[in-house]
């Protein structure tokens, strides 16, 4: 498909259903999209972080199927937090505080759902132009003026190789720019989970720790890369470098954490979690998974670790499944870390004692070798 055809298909899908009009919100509305990974806590960090620099974050979010719940499920682990705020209140909050999250409403891009079903039976699910137009149509229908994409690559991602991920990123950036929505992308590693926490309340805690300035190195690095593109595209910095310096300052000065508290309180939640994450729901049992040998962690397969979190009840297998917000996994080691036999590789947070199946899955997904190096997190930038 030519660039023209990709752009036309995207707009045909946008116009097949309702669209969201965010014109009542002042400023450039930049939306961030991730192609999906395991333990991806970036939205919870980025939303208050960029809002603290004046970037309007008008986030429409879903629950979704997966290893953990979606952004809304995660936020609902904060006591009282809700997203059924209504369109008017949503617009008022974003204009006044630069941040709000609302549940998905309206029938957006129905043609995308039909085309997806058709792709499923015609072996075209993996066609890059069709994936690119599918994703971009949903972002444009949801009202984005500019778009930042996190295209994941590796075992836990849809695109298994960095070359495929780059091709998808270039296709989406091409469509966005042709349609007058400035678009940039980061290609990031998803061979192992991002950060340490995988689970709903556990990821909220990880996001709070990151906003407090003590986040996992990889999560911080990715938030700075994606956040710089968001701040730059929103016109709040003259270059990506200047944007990154502003983000670091907002983190160090506690502005991002303050914005998180305001955001949580605005939507009925308990803002005290930001200073005391022990107020989040906690699982009844913590079970360690000790290394069986000395060595260096050589692999932590993101897809299998995500599946282990799902077995605990952290995610939904079907739309009707109930999720347990307290359960999940906390990695104590990442790829490249040395480990001694008996040291804990992972802490299981469970609401039942019998977790042998989860342990087996974890042992099968973690490889210990004589030597190994940490993989590079950022595999490419497309601007
Ligand atoms: N995600 C989408 O939204 N569409 C695709 O086609 C593939 C992944
Ligand atoms: Ca995480």
Catalytic status, residue 119 = yes
Q: Is the pLDDT of residue 233 over 90?
A: yes
Q: How far apart are CA 242 and CA 151, in angstroms?
A: 23
Shortest-distance atom of ligand 1 to CA 125? 6
3-state class (DSSP) for residue 219: helix
Among 60-69, 175-184, 291-300, where is mean pLDDT lowest? 60-69
CB 132 near ligand 1, within 6 Å: no
Q: Note the pLDDT of residue 132.
A: 98
Count of residues making up the chain: 383
Could you say which ligand is closest to the alpha carbon of residue 127? 1
Provide the ipTM. Answer: 0.89
Q: Is the pLDDT of residue 65 over 80?
A: no
Q: How far apart are CA 359 and CA 341, in angstroms?
A: 16
Q: Give the CA dihedral 253, 254, 256, 261, nearest 10 degrees.
A: -160
Catalytic status, residue 134 = yes
Taking only Cα atoms into account, the Rg of the chain, rounded to an integer number of angstroms, comes to 20
Shortest-distance atom of ligand 1 to CA 158? 8
Q: DSSP string of 41-77?
A: -HHHHHHHHHHTTT--EEEEE---SBSS--HHHHHTT
Mean pLDDT calculated for residue range 331-354: 98
Helix, strand, coil percentages, rounded to 5, for the chain = 40, 20, 40
pLDDT tens, residue by residue, 254-285: 999 999 999 999 999 999 999 999 999 999 99
CB 134 near ligand 1, within 6 Å: yes
Q: Give the CA dihedral 296, 298, 303, 305, nearest 10 degrees.
A: -10
Mean pLDDT calculated for residue range 57-75: 88
Could you say which ligand is closest to the alpha carbon of residue 171? 1
Distance (Å) from CA 131 to ligand 1 centroid: 5
Shortest-distance atom of ligand 1 to CA 131? 6
Return phi, psi of residue 81, to 5°.
-65, 135
Q: How far apart are CA 38 and CA 310, in angstroms?
A: 11
Distance (Å) from CA 159 to ligand 1 centroid: 11
Q: How far apart are CA 231 and CA 250, in angstroms?
A: 12
pLDDT tens, residue by residue, 73-106: 999 999 999 999 999 999 999 999 999 999 987 8
Residue nearest to atom 1 of ligand 1 (CA): 135
Q: Note the pLDDT of residue 61.
A: 86
Structure tokens, 171: 């296709």
CB 135 near ligand 1, within 6 Å: yes
Q: Which residue in 360, 368, 359, 199 sits closest to 300, CA to CA?
A: 368
pLDDT tens, residue by residue, 196-224: 999 999 999 999 999 999 999 999 999 99
CB 131 near ligand 1, within 6 Å: yes
Q: Note the pLDDT of residue 81.
A: 98
pLDDT tens, residue by residue, 14-35: 999 999 999 999 999 999 999 9
Q: Which residue in 286, 314, 349, 299 sits closest to 63, CA to CA?
A: 314
Residue nearest to atom 6 of ligand 1 (CA): 131
Measured in whole angstroms, the distance separating CA 32 from the mean position of its chain's CA atoms is 9
Is residue 120 a contact partner of residue 102, using CB atoms and an 8 Å limit? no
CB atoms within 10 A of CB 338: 13
Residue nearest to atom 7 of ligand 1 (CA): 131
Catalytic status, residue 112 = yes
Q: DSSP string of 309-344?
A: HHHHTSSBSSTT----TT-EEEES--TT-EE-TTSE
CB 115 near ligand 1, within 6 Å: no
């Amino acid at each position: 498909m030519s660039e023209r055809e990709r752009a036309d298909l995207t707009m045909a899908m946008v116009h097949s259903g309702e669209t969201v009009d965010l014109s009542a919100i002042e400023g450039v509305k930049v939306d961030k999209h991730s192609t999906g990974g395991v333990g991806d806590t970036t939205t919870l960090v980025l939303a208050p972080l960029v809002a603290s620099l004046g970037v309007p974050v008008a986030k429409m979010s879903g629950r979704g199927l997966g290893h953990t719940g979606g952004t809304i499920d995660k936020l609902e682990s904060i006591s009282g937090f809700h997203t059924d705020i209504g369109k008017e209140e949503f617009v008022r909050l974003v204009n006044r505080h630069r941040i709000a999250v609302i549940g998905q409403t309206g029938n957006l891009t129905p043609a995308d759902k039909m085309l997806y079903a058709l792709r499923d039976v015609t072996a075209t699910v993996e066609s890059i132009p069709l994936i690119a137009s599918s994703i971009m149509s949903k972002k444009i229908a949801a009202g984005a003026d500019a778009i930042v994409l996190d295209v994941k690559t590796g075992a836990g991602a849809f695109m298994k190789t960095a070359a495929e991920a780059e091709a998808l990123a270039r296709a989406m950036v091409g469509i966005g720019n042709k349609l007058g929505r400035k678009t940039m992308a980061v290609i990031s590693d998803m061979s192992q989970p991002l950060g340490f926490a995988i689970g709903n309340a556990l990821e909220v805690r990880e996001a709070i720790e990151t906003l407090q300035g003590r986040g996992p190195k990889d999560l911080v690095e990715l938030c700075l890369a994606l956040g710089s593109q968001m701040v730059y595209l929103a016109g709040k910095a003259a270059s990506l470098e200047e944007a990154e310096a502003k983000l670091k300052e907002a983190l160090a000065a506690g502005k991002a954490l303050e914005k998180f508290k305001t955001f949580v309180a605005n939507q009925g939640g308990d803002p005290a979690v930001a200073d005391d994450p022990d107020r989040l729901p906690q699982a009844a049992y913590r079970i360690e998974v000790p290394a069986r040998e000395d060595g260096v962690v050589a692999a932590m397969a993101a897809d299998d670790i995500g599946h282990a979190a799902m077995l605990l009840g952290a995610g939904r297998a079907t739309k009707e499944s109930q999720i347990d917000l307290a359960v999940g996994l906390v990695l104590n080691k990442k790829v490249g870390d040395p480990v001694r036999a008996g040291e804990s590789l992972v802490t299981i947070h469970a609401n039942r004692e019998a977790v042998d199946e989860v342990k087996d899955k974890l042992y099968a997904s973690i490889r210990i070798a004589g030597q190994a190096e940490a993989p590079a997190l950022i595999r490419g930038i497309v601007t």
